[in-house]
């Protein structure tokens, strides 16, 4: 008898991505698409018993930086270890196309500074068999990989390609410059870019400490870029605003985004990170202004939030630690870890480092590893909503010691591989209750996993596992329902990005599917692995509980381990909804 389906997933609890709570159903898959959902009586070449397991659409991360990793690797992990089946590259306006050979060094320095990707890794890993954006897209399309990738046209490469040194020095663009940038952006969107991405934040610096080319670029340039996206049929504008760091008010910074929205009529998504001490009202004002703007109708503006603290890992074995900018530590930094740790254990060396004042940090992120009041020991499994009183500062006060000393001793654990977590963003108080201000806002969208970036600093792309295990299962107090948690990682980001062919389990949709044992779903601690070009090292984070992950109906993960099957594709532009869903 001829099988009617390629795969039937039997008896799972289907959270279909619409927000509905899980219901028992079978899911039939044929030709990479979902063919049937319900009680299926037919046969299949393969049947998967999902009894007692959660079945969801594949998750979608709107904000990643796999621009380089998608060139040199077939796996987009950590994201693809956490149920993510589609990622979007080119965020923050940084990337590698378009790029003349003479500009490669500058774009790599920009990526190294903004996203903590070591220069040697890019030197060894980037093939540079492209110059134009369409050529870059062709290279991405030709590379086998585990999950799907989509791309924004990044602002800084476009600006430098048109303006050269004037662009990198952030000089004002002429009308001729704007016209040429528009041509490149239209070319990119015609080649399949979803839209355009830019950053205006002072945190984003090149590896030499200089601001990136798009920093403080004015409204006319962003409007011209957005208009080019619209002209070519693009979907979305992504922005990182200047979040109160240079004295702008929320009204001023939102005014720029509103001006772009009103002028062009395209949706905008922007990074929003609740502050701690500096302008704690800033993010709430941006949230309020977005609601007021969207209530008027027309083009919408969508705050993009992260569902746990935005955190940096500090270690003697990573890019940064609380002492990385002190002269006494710098004198040892060149030593291999084992030799360095042997020196760091000496009482006189410890005293010298603890007494040292740090030099000015070249990159702002490294200075944040001295914030002891938001520094925690994560533990295993890691806890991203730590109990009140558990910070290094509070622990030090109880022990009657300086926080620097407590941090120093903890970092020496595990032969100098001890890690501390610095919740420098999205941790305004002592819990995550404020997240419901985003969860309750229909226009806010979840994202900001940053996969492929901050290789030695941040490992946030594991957030889908945290959302399910913490927000929908373990959290004390108010939670998300399972159905709502799934919706926020599937149909909601898919719709905003114009990827209407995925994010829902229903007939005709792309068969990107997760089968998860929610009861045993566990997020493991970050670890350092050596798999980057040029001998580079990076943070990775795994999980237990992903029984199966399917991309286009093919099993890429079985029992938490990759199968080696690589069905991932380049997504070119807007994707239409299935005819059945229209």
Q: For residue 484, give the CATH number of its domain.
A: 3.20.20.140
Q: Of 450, 475, 496, which one is at a domain's C-terminal end?
A: 496
Three-class DSSP category at 162 = helix
Q: Are residues 54 and 123 in the same domain?
A: no
Residue 47 CB neighbours (<10 A) = 15
Q: Of 443, 466, 496, which one is at a domain's C-terminal end?
A: 496
Q: Are residues 64 and 52 in the same domain?
A: no
What is the C-alpha separation between 39 and 430, in angstroms, rounded? 46
Per-residue pLDDT, 203: 79
CA angle 508–509–510, rounded 5-degree value? 125
Q: Which residue's entry shows tokens 């070449």?
A: 45
User: Which residue ranges in the chain fall short of pLDDT 70?
Assistant: 1, 244-245, 276-280, 363, 581-582
579 within some domain:
no
What is the C-alpha separation between 411 and 429, in angstroms, rounded? 25
Q: Are residues 120 and 104 in the same domain?
A: yes
Q: Are residues 453 and 364 in the same domain?
A: no
What domain range is 342 assigned to?
312-425
Distance of CA 188 to the CA centre of its chain: 22
Q: Are residues 112 and 218 in the same domain?
A: yes
What is the C-alpha separation between 482 and 487, in angstroms, rounded? 9
Residue ranges of alpha helices (H) inside 165-233 are 165-168, 175-190, 219-231
What is the C-alpha separation between 307 and 82, in angstroms, rounded? 14
Q: Are residues 103 and 124 in the same domain?
A: yes
The per-residue pLDDT of the chain, averaged, comes to 95
User: What is the sign, positive or negative, of the torsion defined by CA atoms of 194, 200, 201, 207?
Assistant: positive
Q: Are residues 336 and 268 in the same domain?
A: no
Contact status, residue 544 vs residue 558, Cβ threshold 8 Å: no
Q: Which residue's entry shows tokens 């030499």?
A: 208
The CATH number of the domain holding residue 550 is 2.30.40.10
pTM: predicted TM-score of the whole model, two decimal places: 0.96
| List of residues 6+ apart from 292 with CB closer than 8 A | none
Q: Which residue's entry shows tokens 């504008």?
A: 237
581 within some domain:
no
Residue 281 CB neighbours (<10 A) = 11
582 within some domain:
no
398 within some domain:
yes
Residue 130 CB neighbours (<10 A) = 19
The number of distinct structural domains making up the chain is: 3
Per-residue pLDDT, 23: 98
578 within some domain:
no
What is the C-alpha separation between 500 and 213, in angstroms, rounded? 33
What is the C-alpha separation between 366 and 361, in angstroms, rounded? 6
Q: How far is CA 106 from CA 174, 211, 214, 428, 532, in A?
A: 22, 12, 13, 35, 21
What is the C-alpha separation between 96 and 107, in angstroms, rounded? 6
Q: Are residues 64 and 53 in the same domain?
A: no
Q: Of 496, 528, 543, which one is at a domain's C-terminal end?
A: 496
What is the C-alpha separation between 378 and 316, in angstroms, rounded? 16
Give the residue from 445, 455, 482, 450 showing the smallest Cα distance to 467: 482
Q: Which two tokens stand for residue 144?
A: 């086998």
Q: Which two tokens stand for residue 430?
A: 């002592």
Report the relative pairing of strands 538-540 and 513-516 from DSSP bridges. unpaired
What is the C-alpha separation between 446 and 463, in angstroms, rounded? 10
573 within some domain:
no
Q: Are residues 434 and 417 in the same domain?
A: no
Crossing angle of the two packed helices 155-163 and 104-115, in degrees rounded to 10: 150
Q: Are residues 203 and 299 in the same domain?
A: yes
CA angle 66–69–75, rounded 5-degree value? 95
258 within some domain:
yes
570 within some domain:
no
Q: Are residues 122 and 187 in the same domain?
A: yes
pLDDT digits (tens, 9 = 90+) for 74-101: 999 999 999 999 999 999 999 999 999 9
DSSP-derived letter for residue 467 is: I
Q: Are residues 208 and 89 in the same domain?
A: yes
């Amino acid at each position: 008898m001829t099988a009617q389906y390629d795969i039937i997933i039997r008896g799972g609890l289907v959270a279909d991505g619409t927000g509905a709570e899980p219901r028992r159903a079978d899911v039939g898959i044929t030709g990479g698409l979902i063919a049937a959902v319900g009680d299926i009586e037919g046969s299949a070449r393969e049947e998967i018993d999902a009894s007692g397991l959660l079945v969801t659409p594949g998750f979608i991360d709107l904000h990643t930086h796999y621009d380089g990793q998608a060139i040199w690797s077939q796996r987009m992990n950590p994201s693809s270890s956490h149920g993510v089946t589609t990622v979007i590259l080119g965020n923050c306006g940084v990337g590698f196309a378009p790029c003349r050979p003479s500009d490669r060094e500058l774009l790599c320095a920009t990526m190294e500074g903004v996203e903590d990707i070591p220069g040697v890794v890019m030197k060894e890993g980037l093939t540079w068999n492209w110059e134009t954006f369409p050529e870059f897209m062709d290279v991405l399309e030709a590379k086998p990989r585990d999950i799907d990738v989509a791309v924004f046209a990044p602002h800084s490469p476009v600006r430098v390609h048109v303006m050269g040194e004037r662009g990198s020095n952030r000089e004002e663009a002429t009308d001729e410059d704007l016209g040429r940038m528009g041509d490149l952006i239209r070319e990119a969107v015609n080649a399949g870019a979803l839209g355009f991405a830019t950053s205006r934040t002072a945190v984003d610096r090149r590896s030499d400490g200089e601001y990136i080319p798009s920093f403080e670029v004015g409204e006319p340039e962003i409007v011209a870029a957005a208009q080019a996206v619209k002209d070519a049929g693009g979907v979305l504008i992504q922005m990182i605003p200047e979040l109160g760091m240079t004295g702008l008010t929320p009204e001023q910074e939102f005014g720029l985004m509103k001006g772009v929205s009103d002028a062009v009529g395209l949706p905008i998504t922007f990074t929003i990170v609740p502050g701690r001490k500096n302008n704690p009202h800033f993010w709430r004002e941006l949230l309020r202004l977005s609601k007021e703007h969207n209530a008027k109708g027309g083009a919408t503006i969508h705050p993009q939030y992260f569902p746990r603290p935005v955190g940096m890992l500090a270690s003697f074995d990573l890019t940064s630690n609380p002492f990385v900018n002190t002269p006494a530590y710098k004198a040892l930094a060149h030593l291999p870890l084992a030799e360095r740790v042997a020196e760091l254990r000496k009482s006189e060396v410890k005293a010298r480092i603890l007494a040292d004042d740090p030099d000015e940090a070249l990159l702002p992120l490294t200075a944040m590893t001295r914030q002891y009041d938001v520094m925690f020991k994560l533990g295993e499994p890691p806890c991203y909503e730590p109990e009140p009183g558990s910070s290094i500062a509070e622990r030090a006060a109880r022990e009657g010691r300086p926080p620097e000393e407590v941090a120093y001793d903890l970092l020496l654990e595990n032969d100098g591989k001890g890690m501390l977590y610095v919740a420098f963003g999205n941790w305004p108080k002592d819990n995550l209750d404020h997240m419901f201000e985003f969860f309750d806002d229909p226009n806010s969208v979840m994202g900001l996993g940053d996969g492929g970036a901050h290789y030695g600093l941040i490992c946030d792309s594991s957030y889908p596992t945290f959302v399910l295990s913490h927000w929908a299962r373990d959290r004390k107090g108010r939670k998300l329902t399972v159905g709502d948690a799934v919706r926020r990682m599937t149909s909601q980001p898919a719709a905003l990005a114009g990827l209407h062919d995925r994010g829902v389990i229903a007939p005709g949709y792309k068969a990107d599917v997760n089968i998860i044992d929610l009861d045993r779903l566990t997020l493991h601690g970050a670890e350092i692995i050596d798999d980057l070009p040029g001998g580079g090292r990076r943070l990775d984070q795994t999980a237990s509980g992903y029984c199966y992950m399917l991309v286009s109906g093919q099993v890429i993960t079985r029992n938490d381990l990759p199968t080696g099957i690589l069905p991932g594709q380049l997504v070119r532009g807007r994707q239409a909804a299935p005819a059945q869903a229209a």
